[in-house]
């Protein structure tokens, strides 16, 4: 996998990673899900995204088992593991405890990135202080936020130490382009990468509509690709976005990984814009 996104700390990460929402919830699927993660890593999807919220830690535990298996053939430094702290655990009394528990479930000594999952009641200044303290201690190598809109980012970057934020993870797919109105440009201006969750609208009401859209289908056939690969290639087209599609199937993981080789043409982009127009006004952050 050759497509990379360079973070402002100089670290390069794959433009396509592995999402793990709703993975690890069913013990009978564990072997299949671990194999899917390993397949993704071997295909170059070495960024793995999880959270303490996912299955009350079960996702982190499963990722930990997959990572342990991978260490038989690869090195820790080859992986970029991301987890998230819940808003009510983001205060100075609880954040470190949450981080350590995540590390224990993952079987790791440090996280490559730790995200503040969404805005809660803890003052943002305190959240930033906690994230920077974890970084200074070495428990996390970097940090970012999730589900922050433009005004939230503006507030964050006014806080001392807030400039250490490297990533904002938000929902973004072809059928949900609201962040293109101002958030993406603001993040580019401040060298904060976009991490795109649900890039295939997994679990969303329009997932089927995206894959079955005739324009998407025509583009897929023209490139001898699949609709899924078209949607992912579109998502990571600008070199500033890290997409983290979730899949518990090794076959689907391989399909996802191949999307980095798909180069959409200007005609493709124009057709997709006509079928799924970019926003013409400010829209609230989408969550499905």
Residue of 54, 70, 116, 172 marked catalytic:
54
Helix, strand, or coil here: 209?
helix
For 15, counting Cβ atoms within 10 Å of its Cβ (0-12 exposed, 13-18 middle, 19+ buried), the class is buried
Cα 238 to its chain centre, rounded Å, is: 15
Strands (E) across 86-206 are located at 113-116, 143-146, 165-171, 193-197
Instruction: Quote the CA–CA distance of 8 and 235 in Å, as a whole number.
Output: 20
Instruction: Quote the CA–CA distance of 183 and 59 in Å, as a whole number.
Output: 29
Checking DSSP bridges between strand 241-244 and strand 165-171, what pairing results, if any?
unpaired
Assess contact for 150 and 179: CB atoms under 8 A: no
70 catalytic residue (yes or no):
no
Strand-pair partners of 144: 115
Instruction: Quote the CA–CA distance of 127 and 130 in Å, as a whole number.
Output: 5
List active site positions.
Answer: 54
């Amino acid at each position: 996998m050759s497509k990379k996104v360079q973070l402002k700390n100089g670290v390069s990460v794959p433009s396509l990673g592995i999402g793990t929402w709703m993975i690890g919830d069913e013990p009978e699927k564990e072997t299949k899900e671990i194999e899917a993660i390993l397949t993704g890593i071997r295909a170059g999807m070495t960024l793995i995204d999880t959270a303490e919220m996912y299955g009350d830690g079960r996702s982190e535990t499963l990722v930990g088992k997959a990572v342990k298996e991978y260490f038989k053939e690869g090195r820790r430094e080859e992986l970029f593991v991301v987890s998230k702290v819940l808003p009510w655990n983001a205060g100075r009394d609880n954040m470190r405890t949450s981080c350590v528990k995540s590390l224990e479930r993952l079987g790791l000594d440090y996280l490559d990135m730790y995200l503040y999952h969404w805005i809660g009641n803890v003052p943002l200044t305190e959240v930033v202080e906690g994230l920077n303290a974890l970084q200074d201690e070495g428990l996390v190598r970097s940090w970012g936020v999730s589900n922050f809109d433009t005004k939230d980012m503006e507030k964050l970057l006014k806080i001392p130490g807030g400039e250490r934020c490297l990533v904002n993870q938000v929902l973004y797919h072809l059928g949900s382009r609201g962040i293109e109105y101002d958030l993406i440009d603001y993040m580019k201006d401040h060298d904060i990468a976009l991490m795109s969750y649900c890039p295939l609208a997994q679990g969303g009401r329009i997932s089927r509509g995206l894959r079955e859209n005739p324009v998407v289908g025509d583009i897929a056939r023209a490139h001898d690709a699949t609709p899924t690969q078209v949607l992912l290639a579109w998502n990571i087209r600008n070199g500033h976005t890290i997409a983290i599609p979730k899949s518990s199937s090794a076959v689907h993981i391989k399909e996802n990984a191949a999307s980095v080789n798909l180069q959409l043409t200007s005609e493709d982009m124009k057709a997709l814009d006509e079928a799924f127009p970019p926003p013409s006004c400010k829209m609230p952050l989408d969550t499905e």
